[in-house]
Structure formats: C-alpha cells, structure tokens
Structure 1
Amino acid sequence: MPPISLTPEERQFYQKNGYVHVRGLLTPEDAAAYRRESHALAERIGENDATWASQRGQGTRITHCHDVQFQSAAFSRLLLDERLTGVAQSIIGPNVQLHHCKMFIKPPEKGSPFPMHQDYPYFPHARHSMIAAIIHFDDAPDEKGCLRVAPGSQALGPLESVGADHHLPEFPLETATPIPAKAGDAIFMNYLLVHGSGINRSNEARTTLLVQMRDPEDEPLTEGHGSRGQGMMLAGVDPRREAFAFAWERKTA
C-alpha cells in the first residue's frame, strides 16, 4: 500500500489540537486480520491484567502485551507499514524511531478505563517529539470506551500529575471529547495531550495497538519504560554518530 501523508488541513488541526483522526489507515480486511492476530496472541500469553492501580478493585479488566512484534511477524510488518510511517513522518519528520508498542484488548462489559493523563511522565523527552498512534482493529464507539481527549491541552506543556498512574483529576473523563473510531482508523497524538478512555460497556471487545514513536535525535530525560524493540528505525535513518558496540556490551535500563 502507498504511504499516507497528512493534508495541510490535517497538519494544522494536529498543531492546534494535539491529535488527528486518520480514517481508513488500514482497510477493513487488514483490520480484521490484525484483530484475529491480537486475540490469538492473547490466547497464547494467557491471563493478564493491565488495569491501572487507581482503577483496580472495580471489577474491570484489560488484556495487554508489550513488544508484540516479538510475538508475531504480522505486527513486525505493521510497524513498517508505510501507511503508518507516512503519517508519522508528516508529524515527526523524515526519521521515525520506535519507542515501544503494546496491544490492548478491553473485554466486553468490563473493559477497564484509563483516567485522563499525559504520556509525558512515563518517558519524558527534551523536544517533545514523541507521538502515539492508536490503531483500531475493530469499531470503537463511545460505549466501548473509546479514546477521549482534551483538545489543545498539549500546549500547556508537562502538567503535575497525581499518583503512580500520573492521572490529572482537573480533567474529568466525563467532560472530555470522545473520538469514536471505525476498524482501520488510527488516532495520532502528541504525548503531552491529556487523554483517557472509559469502560467498555458493550457486548464486544475493543482491540487496539498503541505505537509510541519519536525523532531519534530527541534525547530522553530519563531511561525508564524500556522496551526490547526500542530504537528500531521505522522510517528514515538514525543520524547520530555512536561508536559500535555489540548488544550485550550495552547498558540497559
């Protein structure tokens, strides 16, 4: 499939609001195939729950898996898909580097919510080039706990957060802007954008892949939130000049 680039209007929308909704990034057939791959992976890895600490004990659950490209070649192909990387280049620039990725499945009727937060506290960077792409493998209407955002909040910069989950109680989830999405849609957002999602109250799962990407020249301020795949170039090159070292010689976070 050919690369996809943002139009000038979409770029302007992103700059103002901190996110852009790209409809039909994947075909319905592609999305359905990745949904099957995601649920097959969930079956293989077994029971797990990524519900945030502040939301535990309320009867909800969410399945997740980091570094899915090491579990299934299908996800390796998706990370390098020019439809994904083309939009990322429209935002970041020609060089796009993987920070990490993770699959989420919100189960029917009890899929865990995410309170409003910024991604910044988890992996702060000097130039704030970090973006997330949320790729939808099935429909995500509001009743499934779709993404909710505070448009323009990225302009506020890093905000002081609360608790281990770094949530922002001054931004109620209920009053945030919902972004319902169709299977194959993707939402690209800056990591300073305040966002969250509600409980999946529907009778169907909500299945997504989150891909965090950055400019390789944007220096991390901390070395937390490491990933096996971190540093993989998805588009362009890494222009930094570093002395060669074998992987086993490098320090890891």
Structure 2
Amino acid sequence: MNDPISARALTAEERDSYKTYGYVLLKGLLSPEATKATYDDVMSIMDAIGLGMTALKQTSEYLAGSPLDALVNSPNLCAIASELMEGEARLYLPFSAVKSPGGGGAFHFHQDNQYTKFDGPGINLWVALVPMTEENGCLSMVPYSHYLGTLHPVAGTNHNSGLEPKVTIPVPMEPGDVVAFSRLTVHGSGKNLTDAPRVAYAIQYARHDVRYTRDLGQTWKTIADDGPGWRTGPVDAITIPEKRDGH
C-alpha cells in the first residue's frame, strides 16, 4: 500500500508547541485524494454498523487493504508520533470518531490517560476528514494541562471524567489536518449541531518502553513485550452488530 502521509520533518515551532501546550495542529498531512478515500471508507463502515442518533460512534475495525489500513499503519504518521514522543512509537489503538448530525456526540472533557493509564508518553493523532468547526463539535483543548500528570481515574460505564475546565481552546480544522496531542492533555468536544456527520479518525500510539494498566494499577503490561491489549490489525469483514445504534 502507498503511504497516504507524505514524509516530512516537524519544524522546531511544531515541536515546541507540542511540548509547551500539549498539542499541535499539523496542517494538510493527508492529501485531498487520500482524505476523500478515507472518509468514504469510514462512512461505509458506519453504514454497516449504524451511525446512531446521539453518541459518538467509535469502532476500531477496518478492512485489510483499505484506505484506513494504509492510514492506521502509515510509517510516516508513526514517524511523527515517534518524533513528538522522543522515542519509537508503537500503535496502541485506532478508532473512528463520528458524530451524528442534529445534536449528536458531545464528549466530556477528559485525559486519555484517565481510562488506560500509561507510565510514560502516549499520543493521539486525530485526523479531520471533514471541516471541523465549533458548530459541528470540533475538538477543544486545555493548554498546559499535560503538566498536571494523570488526573483521577475514570471507572464505570458512563465514562464521564467530571472535569469542567474554565479555559478551553477550540481547534478548527480542515479536511486532511491532524491535531497531535499528549495522552495527558485534557480535551473534549461539543454537540454536532449541523445537518451532516462530523467525521474524524483517531490513531493512538505509545512509546515502545511504556507500561500500561487497565485495572487501576493492579497489573501492568509493556507495549513492547505484550502489545496493546486491543486488536489493531485489519479484518477481512466488518462485524455487524445484532442491533445497530439508533435502529
């Protein structure tokens, strides 16, 4: 497969922004052609599993040989993650991030590390596949929040961290833009108030030497030796749920 991400070195300003604020916007990493192909791929999966009416729709399945396969396993995207984490990146978790139109998909403010805790660097490379605006629920970041370390862990089924930050910065994006943010950076997003789906794709990485726990520290595993604990490889067919969301 051709790599949909062009090889490029990060600028000193981009590296400094990531270190200082906990996130950096990387403009136009995905070409218009690759963006359209990836959008079509994501929406075909949504057609199969059901987009739903209110919740943010996430799935980690993608087809072998598809545009998503090329994006998720992009060596050039992985190289960017490695550079920002200052060490070899390993794929941790890819997933769709699609909000239904008409008020769907608000997501509370949280750190990714509140759910599965890493003891070292982790990063999310979040790809816009349509224009991202405040009206359709673009991401908002809390700058400098990565300096706080991991906040209280989140347990239970509602996944609500209870965070209510006073200062948040919206991150409007164009299709093909990527926002890279630390696993410790507090972020969230509002409802999609437009009449079209808000379509994005997130690819999380961990540095190769990181350990992680999914049971509040009772057991720890290493990314390098044990893998991520999630299925990250492509599939031959998308799993169709017995009952689709919103149906």
The answer, yes or no, to whether TM exceeds 0.5 is yes
Q: For residue 53 of structure 1, what is the aligned residue in structure 2?
A: none
Q: For residue 131 of structure 1, what is the aligned residue in structure 2?
A: 123
Give the superposition deviation at 1:48.
Answer: 5.8
Change (3 A) 1:149 1:169: same
Q: Among 8, 15, 24, which residue is 1:11 paired with? A: 15
**% same residue:** 25
Q: TM-score w.r.t. structure 1 length?
A: 0.78
Q: For residue 61 of structure 2, what is the aligned residue in structure 1?
A: 67
Give the Cα separation in 2 of the matches to 1:228 and 1:135. 20
Does the 8 Å CA contact 1:118/1:166 hold for their aligned counterparts?
no
Structure 1 position 152 matched with structure 2 position 157: no
Does the 8 Å CA contact 2:56/2:107 hold for their aligned counterparts?
no
Unmatched segments (≥5 aa) in structure 1: 50-58, 231-253
Give the superposition deviation at 1:182.
Answer: 0.5
Q: Among 87, 100, 124, which residue is 1:107 paired with? A: 100
Give the Cα separation in 1 of the matches to 2:124 and 2:130. 18
Q: TM-score w.r.t. structure 2 length?
A: 0.80
Correspondence list, 1:15-94, <5 A:
15-44=19-48, 46-47=49-50, 49=52, 60-68=54-62, 70=63, 73-94=66-87
Change (3 A) 1:211 1:162: closer
Correspondence list, 1:165-244, <5 A:
165-171=159-165, 175-222=167-214, 226-229=229-232
SS across alignment from 2:117: coil
Q: Among 89, 95, 107, which residue is 1:96 paired with? A: 89
Change (3 A) 1:63 1:166: closer
Residue by residue over 1:131-190, the C-alpha shift from the partner in whole angstroms, topping out at 9 and shown as x without a partner, is: 001111111111010000100100011112566324243415xx4110000000001000
Give the Cα separation in 1 of the matches to 2:188 and 2:164. 13
One-letter amino acid of the structure 1 residue matched with residue 50 of structure 2: E
Give the Cα separation in 2 of the matches to 1:74 and 1:30. 7
Q: CA RMSD in A?
A: 2.2
Give the superposition deviation at 1:226.
Answer: 3.3
SS across alignment from 1:26: coil
Change (3 A) 1:229 1:74: same
Please identify runs of 4+ aligned residues in structure 1 that moved more than 4 A: none
**Higher helix proportion:** 1
Q: For residue 240 of structure 1, what is the aligned residue in structure 2?
A: none
Unmatched segments (≥5 aa) in structure 2: 215-219, 222-227, 234-247
Does the 8 Å CA contact 1:13/1:20 hold for their aligned counterparts?
yes
Q: For residue 121 of structure 1, what is the aligned residue in structure 2?
A: 114
One-letter amino acid of the structure 1 residue matched with residue 203 of structure 2: V
Give the superposition deviation at 1:65.
Answer: 1.2
SS across alignment from 1:91: helix
